[in-house]
Amino acid sequence: MIRATKSELAGSEREAADKNLASSRRPGSAARKNPESVSRQSRFGLNAANFFLAEITGVVMPFLGSYLKGTKWSETAIGVAISLAGLGVFLMQTPAGMIVDRVRQRRTLLAGASILLGVCYGLLPIVPARPGWVDSLLFVAGVGQAFFLPLLGALALGLVGHAALNRTMGSNQCWNHAGNLAAALLAMGLVSLFGISSVFYAVLIVSFLAASSVYLIRENEVDEIRASGAADGGEKGPSLGTLLRDRRVLVLLAATALFHLANAPVMPFLGAYIKTLRGSEVQVAAVVLVAQAVMIPVALAAGWLCDRWGRKWVFGIGLVALPVRIVLYSLTEDPWTLVALQALDGIGAGIYGVVIVAICADLTKGKGGFNALSGMIATALAVGGVIGPLGAGFLAQHLGYNGFFYVFAGIAVAAAVLFLTLMPETSDNGNTKLGAEGNGP
């Protein structure tokens, strides 16, 4: 038997002590050992950021379509404008995810992105209602918005880790949808009292509240390495090529792109459709209000269910709700019935916001690249955000709104079928175990 000398043992002990000391000095090391040790202040700051950021993004699109319609824009021109907002997100989304994986000032970056978007929307009623002005502001707003999803996901993962992520995202999404609900109620009041332009000014004010709330998150409680999905000591995540060699990633990207291609144009064009049917601005605001009211309990349930049923089937429910909702739009011309059908949007979006983060965390656990993958998923969404409204404007103008609804319902069906037939379960706790083919490289 070979015995270690005292000097060798002492050296090993010193090396272990140095590693422990370095780990203890890493930001968020306490939170990493015990997610329950995260302070109420940090949790509240993250929830508040979700609340206020939802207010500046969730309610504005239906009013944007209505506002531009009121300035005599055609459906095609409205579609181009909304597509340019999506184009800004599309071009910046994957780079944003890669940046978020590498930066260490995530709170400051999120605050800056929030203010940038708020300023762009706040200027819309001030500048001339011409494409050169409006389209440029919407594009820059999209660039700022591209950072929201990966930054919020990174901060959540950095605070609580993988084990508590689903419950935390369920809570975050509840606050997100509550923010949308509050924004819809506020917008209804503002429009009634001051006109539609007041909604854009409110977005500017709330963007500064969102930026301020980010700094309630304590910097020393965010584990910066864990925030990228990497294991200890693995700050550099996999390359985009490595991620794309995983078949599950490709299926997820394709399904989410098709989902958002069908979903992105529906809400803003629903606002324009309600105006065509001589509906009121209150009914346009109610489009958001009803959906967000349903999303709050659905998001809580999704966080609970995806730990028990697995990610695949919960996510599938959200995908199936979309084509059902779009087809039902074509069966009525009553504005209040159209508003009531937005409850189905609450089911789809409430599930999506929680479960997509869980799937991305599963696919990158221990390897890193969580934010890069989140950025790629958001890029896939942005593809739909660019193409969908552009095509929708043409369809609505030349085929009517029913033709528009049928085409996009078909696309939504394709998204659901693709995901449910080709995507394996990603959670170790799911009822469906991963097969060898689905495990990626």
* Structure confidence by residue, pLDDT tens digits, 373-384: 887 887 777 676
- Name the residue ranges covered by the structural domains of the chain: 40-439
Arithmetic mean of pLDDT, 343-352: 86
pLDDT > 70? residue 29: no
Of 39, 375, 361, the closest CA to residue 222 belongs to 39
Arithmetic mean of pLDDT, 170-197: 80
DSSP-derived 3-state class of residue 104? coil
For residue 20, what are the contacts with CB-CB under 8 A and spacing of at least 6?
none
Rounded to whole angstroms, how far apart are CA atoms 359 and 177?
A: 20
Query: By the 8 A CB rule, do 325 and 272 touch?
Result: no
Enumerate the H helices of 309-399 as residue ranges: 311-329, 335-340, 343-364, 370-398
Q: Identify the helix (H) or strand (E) that includes residue 30.
A: helix 29-33
DSSP single-letter state for residue 257: H
pLDDT > 70? residue 28: no
Share of the chain above pLDDT 70, in %: 82
Radius of gyration of the chain (CA): 23
Arithmetic mean of pLDDT, 346-373: 83
> For residue 9, what pLDDT is reported?
43
Query: By the 8 A CB rule, do 93 and 147 touch?
Result: no
The two three-digit tokens of residue 275, written as one number: 């105006």
Rounded to whole angstroms, how far apart are CA atoms 219 and 155?
A: 10
How many C-alpha atoms does 339 have within 13 Å on its Cβ side?
20
> For residue 82, what pLDDT is reported?
78
Residue written as token pair 């239906």: 62
DSSP single-letter state for residue 367: B
Task: Please write the tens of the pLDDT for every residue from 79-114.
Answer: 788 778 878 877 887 888 888 877 778 888 999 999
Query: By the 8 A CB rule, do 195 and 27 touch?
Result: no
Q: How confident is the model at residue 165 (pLDDT cuts 50, 70, 90)?
A: confident
The two three-digit tokens of residue 316, written as one number: 């599938």
Query: By the 8 A CB rule, do 341 and 405 touch?
Result: no
pLDDT > 50? residue 32: no
Q: What is the mean pLDDT of the chain?
A: 78
pLDDT > 60? residue 213: yes
Q: How confident is the model at residue 291 (pLDDT cuts 50, 70, 90)?
A: confident
Rounded to whole angstroms, how far apart are CA atoms 436 and 441?
A: 10
The two three-digit tokens of residue 4, written as one number: 């270690």
> For residue 319, what pLDDT is reported?
92
Of 117, 109, 70, 67, the closest CA to residue 89 belongs to 117
Q: Report the b/e string of 263-302 with b at 16+ CB within 10 A.
A: bbbbbbbbbbbbbeeebebebbbbbbbbbbbbbbebbbbb
Arithmetic mean of pLDDT, 45-65: 80
Q: How confident is the model at residue 419 (pLDDT cuts 50, 70, 90)?
A: very high
Residue written as token pair 């593809």: 383
For residue 1, what are the contacts with CB-CB under 8 A and spacing of at least 6?
none
Query: What single-letter amino acid sits at 96?
Result: A
For residue 28, what are the contacts with CB-CB under 8 A and spacing of at least 6?
158, 159, 220, 221, 222, 223, 224, 226, 227
The two three-digit tokens of residue 402, written as one number: 């029913």
The two three-digit tokens of residue 250, written as one number: 């490709």
Query: What single-letter amino acid sits at 120?
Result: C
Of 175, 146, 176, 61, the closest CA to residue 381 belongs to 146
Q: How confident is the model at residue 320 (pLDDT cuts 50, 70, 90)?
A: very high
> Is the C-alpha dihedral spanning 182, 184, 190, 193 positive or negative?
negative
Of 342, 344, 326, the closest CA to residue 405 belongs to 326
> For residue 323, what pLDDT is reported?
92
Rounded to whole angstroms, how far apart are CA atoms 259 and 280?
A: 29
pLDDT > 60? residue 423: yes
Q: Which of the listed CATH numbers 3.40.50.2300, 2.10.260.10, 3.40.50.300, 1.20.1250.20 matches domain 40-439?
A: 1.20.1250.20
> For residue 20, what pLDDT is reported?
44
